[in-house]
Amino acid sequence: MKKTKTSVVAESNALSKTALRRQREREHRYESILTVAEILFAREGYLQASMEKIADSAEVSVGTLYFYFKNKEDILVRLLDKISFELRELLGSEFRKADFSLDGIKRAGQFFFEEFCIKHPEKLTIIFKESMGKSAMVEEYRKQIFDRLISDVQEALMRLSENRGLKYQSSLSPELMAVSILGMYERIAYHFLIGQDRSKELKTISKDTVAFIMGGINNLCRQ
Amino acid sequence: MKKTKTSVVAESNALSKTALRRQREREHRYESILTVAEILFAREGYLQASMEKIADSAEVSVGTLYFYFKNKEDILVRLLDKISFELRELLGSEFRKADFSLDGIKRAGQFFFEEFCIKHPEKLTIIFKESMGKSAMVEEYRKQIFDRLISDVQEALMRLSENRGLKYQSSLSPELMAVSILGMYERIAYHFLIGQDRSKELKTISKDTVAFIMGGINNLCRQ
Amino acid sequence: MKKTKTSVVAESNALSKTALRRQREREHRYESILTVAEILFAREGYLQASMEKIADSAEVSVGTLYFYFKNKEDILVRLLDKISFELRELLGSEFRKADFSLDGIKRAGQFFFEEFCIKHPEKLTIIFKESMGKSAMVEEYRKQIFDRLISDVQEALMRLSENRGLKYQSSLSPELMAVSILGMYERIAYHFLIGQDRSKELKTISKDTVAFIMGGINNLCRQ
Amino acid sequence: MKKTKTSVVAESNALSKTALRRQREREHRYESILTVAEILFAREGYLQASMEKIADSAEVSVGTLYFYFKNKEDILVRLLDKISFELRELLGSEFRKADFSLDGIKRAGQFFFEEFCIKHPEKLTIIFKESMGKSAMVEEYRKQIFDRLISDVQEALMRLSENRGLKYQSSLSPELMAVSILGMYERIAYHFLIGQDRSKELKTISKDTVAFIMGGINNLCRQ
DNA sequence: AATGAATGAGATTTCATTCAT
DNA sequence: TATGAATGAAATCTCATTCAT
């Protein structure tokens, strides 16, 4: 959110009561716009979700949208930020919990399906579909986000191999595996959960996915 | 393209010389518009490539565009059709050449990168980026195309297991593997070839990808 | 129809067999285009009925349309011509049969409903609706046609009064009555036959209409 | 016009000063666009009067047109609404003033010519010409408007007969008479005032028209 | 005479963004 | 801060008409 004059001006570094309330309200409004945009972008598509529709749904005026965000692209980009942050948190925490063991991969996979895809299909739609092919700027942003996700996974894979005393076939292998794994999860989520609803088979999907990945990983390792 | 009235009078069922020439010219123009659109959609993006720009590039009038295609969406959809047809042909022929052996998977993967991605990056951009999040209709079309690709791969995997006298862990496994493999290829192509140009590492990319897949497949098999 | 070179050149004033056949074919085609246009203009509206649709329905090419007619407006205008000619013939013949008596008015009214409206609702739609508000030129043409119809009716009314030894209140009366009667028939046809289908009540409609007109006429007469 | 969100916060249910002013301005602009459109539709025709021309004449941007009206058709339909409302008010008030006597018919007729046709020829042109044959939707709207006018007149006629202690020949008679009378007025106005300018003869026209109608009505009555 | 592909002007419509209040 | 009316550029699409064959 934009730094507002008031917050900077505030005497000492404590904010007055009114200023505090104002800031809370501002943040609340900022979040509620993002939430509304998330739903609309996912449901109607980024292009069809006009600024007017967003404003109406968020129960603010169009002008207010432009107070909180530079422009429409900016809303999308902030949303991508938020979603990718949540996703990285979710996956990272599972990996850490499992101490970067093979089990971490399993748990992260399960969590991706069960906690992220099933519970927040809109978020999925936005990072994997609605943010594509919109503009050079968004594309660039998306790339950064995905690169960060990829390097997260890559790092996890490298720690994993260290833990197990193994090395990867080539220096490229961890990166390629990270990209592959993300690609798999993306398409699997899309195919089984968004395109059609086969969430009942989720257990099998999850198990097979992890098995496939394990096989792949092992095949790219040597002692 | 509009169907031409087949002349009732015409002797035998052959078209007259003029009609034949006209048809040839029509088909040629149709193709050349598609080619131009492919380049423009990939280079500038589907949204930025206006009908006027396409017409200018193809050296025809806007009206002519609408003579050959119902509307802009239609151009994209025909393009998707053409690209997905080429892709299926390419992959299918490699599988068949290798008689649905493990080698077929290797060859198909190599061909995808070397013959398709490197030689036709615009096609890649269009099926994996520019056709996303455009409209409900295009989305539907994309789904059909991908479903067909998935069932192609799925079938190849099933033949493969038959040849090797193996069974998959669950009845879902072949479908999941097909989706996974396509997802991998999509993201790998996007990451290493569209987002950045690392075509020099293509050999390693290709080898590692296949190795990963092989490991995955084996892990989902039992005797 | 345009006079063609061939017909003028023909030796003596008899046309050769081939030329005769050709002329018959030309006339037939001209008529069939008009017939098709009549249906399309009435069913889809003049604006929605594109030249291509007309050509397709008439099983000729768009170019042929322009051989037989100067432009789209010309088709409408020729159609108006044809329809108004048929209408005048129909009404005029009834008047003449009844020797311009009061009975003629009755018969003409009945015939308008039964022979014209019921049997040719498209013609009704075209003269009373689809030819309105199209262009200055068509408007002008329509005016001429209606003026002719009005003066037909006006003349019939004047003969009628002569026959009965009566005079009209003012010199304007016959014109006003003619206009009124046409207006009545137009709206009645529209209200009871086009807008809704109450053709079962046609007998009553017809009788009441004539009664209303008779009353009106008598009220504008003096001895 | 778009409904404005009624502020929940606003004390009592009165709008704030600014909101009130805005609403006044909005209504004023809405009306001025309608006025301009009325003139343009009548002068140049609905089709020729492009949205750009209307915007220019109203001294607003094209976008503003679409802020106040859904589309071009909507302008026409609102205009029809307004005009038909005025017309019904005018005629209804004359009838009421004359207490649904025969004199009411006379007065309503006179007023139609003198107050409506002469003073607002554009309105006349729009309901009787420019709104015809435009689109299915406008047609439907027109039908509703005319049906309401017809039932107004029908009711007036029935009250009239009650007042005079008379009955109509058939149950259909009042409806038929209403349709007839409106058809007469429409055509008379069109013939004498739109097609040509014979407003000088208006007195005679008016007198003869009423006389014709009176004769008609009496002829469809019995004691 | 007949064809039908090509034209291109013109119309409607959308919508992100601005700005006075 | 918040509002929402106003803007206008840009895009899509239609279709009467032409003309080479």
Question: Given an 8 Å threshold on Cβ–Cβ distance, is A212 in contact with B180?
Answer: yes
The nucleotide closest to C66 (CA, C1' atoms): F17
Whole-number average pLDDT of chain B? 90
Find the angle CA(A111)-CA(A117)-CA(A122) to the nearest 5 degrees: 145
Question: Given an 8 Å threshold on Cβ–Cβ distance, is C47 in contact with D182?
Answer: no
For strand E, the positions having any atom within 7 A of a protein Cβ are 1-21
Longest CA pairwise span in chain A (Å): 64
Kindly identify which residue of chain C lies nearest to residue D169, measuring between CA atoms.
C208
In a domain, C37, yes or no: yes
Mean pLDDT computed over B21-25: 91
| CA dihedral sign of residues B177, B182, B183, B184 | positive
- The D 135-164 residues near strand F by Cβ under 7 Å are none
> Are C95 and C192 members of one domain?
yes
D161: number of Cβ within 10 Å: 18
Which of A173, A159, A164, A77 has the alpha carbon at shortest distance from A126? A77
Q: Measured between alpha carbons, how far is A4 from A2 in angstroms, rounded to an integer?
A: 6
> Are A90 and A185 members of one domain?
yes
> Are C126 and C199 members of one domain?
yes
Q: What's the pLDDT score for residue A212?
A: 95
Residue A98 is part of a domain; what is its CATH number? 1.10.357.10
Dihedral angle of Cα B179, B182, B183, B186, to the nearest 10 degrees:
-160
The nucleotide closest to C52 (CA, C1' atoms): F15
> Are D104 and D199 members of one domain?
yes
Structure tokens at D149: 């006018």
Percentage of chain C beyond pLDDT 70 is 93
> Are D105 and D204 members of one domain?
yes
Question: Given an 8 Å threshold on Cβ–Cβ distance, is D143 in contact with C195?
Answer: yes
For residue B167, the Cα-to-chain-centroid distance in whole angstroms is 30
Q: B98: part of which helix (H) or strand (E)?
A: none
**Domain final position from A54, A69, A84:** A69
> Are B188 and B209 members of one domain?
yes
Structure tokens at A177: 């595996």
In a domain, C5, yes or no: no
Q: Measured between alpha carbons, how far is B84 from B149 in angstroms, rounded to an integer?
A: 8
Q: Measured between alpha carbons, how far is D117 from D122 in angstroms, rounded to an integer?
A: 8
Residues in chain A: 223
Question: Given an 8 Å threshold on Cβ–Cβ distance, is D201 in contact with C131?
Answer: no
A57 C-beta less than 7 Å away from strand F: no
Alpha-helical runs (H) found in C98-201:
102-111, 121-125, 136-164, 173-189
Which of B109, C154, B191 has the alpha carbon at shortest distance from A182? B191
For residues B95-112, b (16+ Cβ closer than 10 Å) or e, as one string?
Answer: beebebebebbbbbbbbb
- The D 13-42 residues near strand F by Cβ under 7 Å are 22, 25-26, 29
A120 C-beta less than 7 Å away from strand F: no
pLDDT 10s digits, D73-99? 999 999 999 999 999 999 999 888 888
Q: What's the pLDDT score for residue C184?
A: 96
Question: Given an 8 Å threshold on Cβ–Cβ distance, is A215 in contact with B211?
Answer: no
Structure tokens at D169: 């020949």
Looking at beta carbons, which residues of chain D come within 8 Å of C220?
Answer: 208, 211-212, 215
**Cα distance from C129 to chain D (closest Cα, Å)?**
6
| Strand ranges, E, within chain C | 167-168, 221-222
A158: number of Cβ within 10 Å: 18
More confident residue, B18 or C148: C148
Looking at beta carbons, which residues of chain D come within 8 Å of C218?
Answer: 215, 219
Which of B194, A136, D181 has the alpha carbon at shortest distance from C213? D181
Q: What's the pLDDT score for residue D14?
A: 57
CA atoms within 13 A on the CB side of A47: 12
In a domain, C184, yes or no: yes
pLDDT 10s digits, C122-158? 999 999 999 999 999 999 999 999 999 999 999 999 9
Whole-number average pLDDT of chain D? 90
> Are B41 and B104 members of one domain?
no
Residues in chain B: 223
Q: Measured between alpha carbons, how far is C89 from C83 in angstroms, rounded to an integer?
A: 10
pLDDT 10s digits, C179-191? 999 999 999 999 9
Kindly identify which residue of chain C lies nearest to residue D126, measuring between CA atoms.
C133
Question: Given an 8 Å threshold on Cβ–Cβ distance, is B132 in contact with A135?
Answer: no
Look at residue B85 and give its three-state secondary structure: helix
C156: number of Cβ within 10 Å: 23
**Domain final position from D53, D69, D85:** D69
For residue D213, the Cα-to-chain-centroid distance in whole angstroms is 21
Choose among C46, C133, C220: nearest Cβ to D211. Answer: C220
Q: What is the DSSP string of B78-121?
A: HHHHHHHHHHHHHHHHHHHHTTTSHHHHHHHHHHIIIIIITT-H
Question: Given an 8 Å threshold on Cβ–Cβ distance, is D208 in contact with C169?
Answer: yes
Residue B55 is part of a domain; what is its CATH number? 1.10.10.60
Task: Write out the residue range of the structural domain in which residue D22 sits.
Answer: 1-69
Choose among D46, D184, D204: nearest Cβ to C184. Answer: D184
Question: Given an 8 Å threshold on Cβ–Cβ distance, is C184 in contact with D183?
Answer: yes
Q: How far is the CA of D49 from the C1' of E10 (A)?
A: 12
3-state secondary structure string, D36-68? HHHHHHHHHCCCCCCHHHHHHHHCCCHHHHHHH
**Cα distance from D48 to chain C (closest Cα, Å)?**
9
Q: DSSP letter at A47?
A: T
Q: What's the pLDDT score for residue A10?
A: 43
Most D-contacting residue of C135, C184, C194 (CB-CB within 10 A), to test interface: C184
Mean pLDDT computed over B66-76: 98
**Domain final position from C69, C91, C108:** C69
**Cα distance from D63 to chain C (closest Cα, Å)?**
26
Q: D222: part of which helix (H) or strand (E)?
A: strand D221-222
Q: Is A26 exposed, middle or buried (0-12, 13-18, 19+ CB in 10 A)?
A: middle
Q: What's the pLDDT score for residue D2?
A: 44
Q: Which of A52-61, B208-217, C184-193, D7-16 has the least mean pLDDT?
A: D7-16
The nucleotide closest to D63 (CA, C1' atoms): F7
Mean pLDDT computed over B169-177: 92
Q: How far is the CA of C62 from the C1' of E7 (A)?
A: 15
> Are C122 and C64 members of one domain?
no
Mean pLDDT computed over D141-147: 95
> Are B120 and B179 members of one domain?
yes
Q: What's the pLDDT score for residue C130?
A: 95
pLDDT 10s digits, D2-48? 444 444 444 445 567 788 888 999 999 999 999 999 999 999 999 99
Alpha-helical runs (H) found in D130-201:
136-164, 173-189
Which of A85, C140, A20, A141 has the alpha carbon at shortest distance from D196? C140
In a domain, C3, yes or no: no
Q: Measured between alpha carbons, how far is C209 from C66 in angstroms, rounded to an integer?
A: 43
**Long-range pairs of C187-192 with CB within 8 A, sequence gap ≥ 24:** C187/D179, C187/D180, C187/D182, C187/D183, C187/D186, C188/D176, C188/D179, C188/D180, C188/D183, C189/C112, C189/C113, C189/C117, C189/C124, C189/C128, C190/C124, C190/C128, C191/D146, C191/D150, C191/D179, C192/D179
Residue keyed to tokens 């929605």? C48
Q: What are phi and psi of B155, to 5 degrees?
A: -60, -45
For strand F, the positions having any atom within 7 A of a protein Cβ are 1-21
Q: How far is the CA of A46 from the C1' of F3 (A)?
A: 24
Looking at beta carbons, which residues of chain A come within 8 Å of B204?
Answer: 170, 172
Residue keyed to tokens 């046309």? C15
Residue nearest to nucleotide E6 (CA to C1'): B64
> Are A31 and A114 members of one domain?
no
For chains D and C, having 3+ Cβ pairs within 8 Å is answered yes
Question: Given an 8 Å threshold on Cβ–Cβ distance, is C146 in contact with D191?
Answer: yes
Question: Given an 8 Å threshold on Cβ–Cβ distance, is C183 in contact with D185?
Answer: yes
In a domain, A2, yes or no: no
What chains are in contact with C, requiring at least 3 Cβ pairs below 8 Å?
A: D
Which of D210, A167, B212 has the alpha carbon at shortest distance from C173? D210
In a domain, B113, yes or no: yes
Q: What's the pLDDT score for residue C14?
A: 62
The nucleotide closest to B75 (CA, C1' atoms): F12
pLDDT 10s digits, D175-223? 999 999 999 999 999 999 988 899 999 999 999 999 999 999 999 987 6
Residue nearest to nucleotide E19 (CA to C1'): A63
> Are C42 and C130 members of one domain?
no
pLDDT 10s digits, C58-110? 999 999 999 999 999 999 999 999 999 999 999 999 988 888 888 888 889 99
Looking at beta carbons, which residues of chain C come within 8 Å of D135?
Answer: 45
C190 C-beta less than 7 Å away from strand F: no
In a domain, C4, yes or no: no
**Cα distance from D152 to chain C (closest Cα, Å)?**
15
> Are B178 and B83 members of one domain?
yes
How many folded domains does chain C comprise? 2
Question: Given an 8 Å threshold on Cβ–Cβ distance, is A219 in contact with B217?
Answer: no
Kindly identify which residue of chain C lies nearest to residue D47, measuring between CA atoms.
C134
Dihedral angle of Cα B121, B126, B127, B130, to the nearest 10 degrees:
140
Q: What are phi and psi of B221, to 5 degrees?
A: -105, 155
Q: Which residues pair with D167 in a beta bridge?
A: D222
Q: What are phi and psi of C65, to 5 degrees?
A: -55, -40
The nucleotide closest to D66 (CA, C1' atoms): E13
Look at residue A134 and give its three-state secondary structure: coil
Q: Which of A102-106, A176-180, D151-155, D202-206 has the least mean pLDDT?
A: A102-106
Name residues whose C-beta falls within 8 Å of residue D3's C-beta, 6 or more positions apart in sequence.
none
In a domain, B2, yes or no: no
pLDDT tier, A5 (very low <50, low <70, confident <90, very high otherwise):
very low
Looking at beta carbons, which residues of chain D come within 8 Å of C46?
Answer: 133
Mean pLDDT computed over B57-83: 98
Looking at beta carbons, which residues of chain D come within 8 Å of C186?
Answer: 183, 187
